[in-house]
């Protein structure tokens, strides 16, 4: 998380976009109002407007703290902070770490996870598309590398969140609320086919 705002002026645009992925994440998982605020202020954020960045960082930290605090009552809730990361880690591992920035992989991973949420019937396709548009406007990739669905699934099973071979996906349960669910390989393969180059 970006903490020292004064060091940001020299940050390359690609790094700024990657950092924004982890800010955008907090909207769909926990705060619809924040998602709307990001949509309105995205250009200011990309231009490194200090007051916009300060608010984005503060709100992200508040939401993270609230989720972690609530995790003590709802065991495992903090896993929702990994929204986009299951698909994202597969992209990073599949391409070799460093080919894409972590935030770029998470951005694309959020597009895939939102689409999976829609295909599971949890949210409207329009909401998933709204998120994809925002992620694209943030300068992040919205199409993953064409590794093939089988390779994505293999990499996701190797990731630490797969328990007993079952991949647990962070999904949007409803706008501004997330949860963790399994999904069939077939459904995940459809998502990957729809969002890879
Ligand atoms: Zn991350």
What are the structural domains of the chain?
Answer: 7-194 (1.20.1090.10)
Distances (CA, A) of 158 to 12, 174, 186: 32, 28, 18
Nearest one of 145, 149, 179 to 71, comparing CA atoms: 179
> Ligand 1 mean position to 110 CA, how many Å?
11
- pLDDT attached to residue 130: 98
Distance 1 CA to ligand 1 centre (A): 9
Q: What is the pLDDT of residue 3?
A: 59
How do residues 177-197 score in pLDDT, each as one tens digit?
999 999 999 999 999 999 998
- Find the 82 Cα to ligand 1 centroid distance in Å: 7
In percent, the amount of the chain with pLDDT more than 90 equals 85
**Mean pLDDT on 21-35:** 98
Residue 72 pLDDT > 90: no
Whole-number pLDDT of residue 8: 72
Q: How far does the centroid of ligand 1 lie from the alpha carbon of residue 103, in Å?
A: 6
- Taking the model in full, what pTM does it have? 0.94
Q: What single string gives the DSSP state of each residue in 68-137?
A: HHHHTTSTTGGGGGGTTHHHHHHHHHHH-TTSS-HHHHHHHHHHHHHHHHHHTTSS-HHHHHHHHHHHHH
> 149-158 vs 185-194: helix axis angle to the nearest 10?
120
Query: Among 56, 31, 51, 29, which residue's Cα sits nearest to residue 138?
Result: 56
Query: Tokens 């995940």 label which residue?
Result: 188
Asked if 195 contacts 108 with a C-beta cutoff of 8 angstroms, the reply is yes
Confidence band, pLDDT 50/70/90 cuts, at residue 22:
very high
The string of pLDDT tens digits covering residues 112-170 is 999 999 999 999 999 999 999 999 999 999 999 999 999 999 999 988 656 677 899 99
Q: Give me the chain's average pLDDT, please.
A: 94
Quote the crossing angle between the two packed helices 102-119 and 185-194, to the nearest 10°: 120
Of the pLDDT bands very low, low, confident and very high (cuts 50, 70, 90), residue 9 is confident
Q: In a 10 Å sphere around its CB, with 0-12 CB exposed, 13-18 middle and 19+ buried, how is residue 73 labelled? A: exposed
Spacing, Cα 57 to ligand 1 middle (Å): 15
Ligand 1 centroid, distance to 44 Cα (angstroms): 22
Closest CA to 179 of 30, 7, 3: 30
- Ligand 1 mean position to 75 CA, how many Å? 20
Residue 87: predicted pLDDT:
98
Structure tokens at 64: 């993270």
Residue 31 has pLDDT above 60, yes or no: yes
pLDDT given for residue 39 in this prediction = 98
């Amino acid at each position: 998380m970006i903490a020292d705002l004064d060091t940001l002026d020299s940050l390359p645009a690609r790094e700024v976009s990657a950092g924004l992925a982890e800010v955008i994440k907090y909207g769909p998982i926990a705060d619809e109002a924040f998602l709307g605020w990001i949509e309105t202020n995205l250009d200011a954020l990309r231009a490194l407007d200090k007051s916009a960045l300060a608010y984005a960082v503060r709100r992200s930290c508040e939401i993270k703290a609230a989720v972690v605090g609530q995790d003590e009552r709802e065991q495992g809730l903090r896993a929702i902070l990994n929204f986009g990361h299951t698909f994202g880690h597969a992209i990073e591992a599949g391409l070799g770490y460093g080919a894409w920035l972590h935030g770029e992989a998470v951005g694309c991973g959020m597009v895939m996870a939102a689409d999976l949420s829609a295909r599971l019937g949890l949210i409207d396709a329009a909401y998933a598309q709204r998120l994809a548009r925002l992620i694209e406007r943030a300068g992040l990739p919205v199409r993953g590398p064409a590794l093939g669905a089988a390779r994505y699934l293999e990499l996701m099973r190797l990731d630490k969140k797969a328990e007993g071979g079952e991949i647990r996906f962070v999904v949007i349960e409803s706008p501004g609320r997330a949860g963790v669910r399994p999904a069939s390989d077939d459904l995940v393969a459809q998502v990957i086919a729809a969002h890879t180059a």
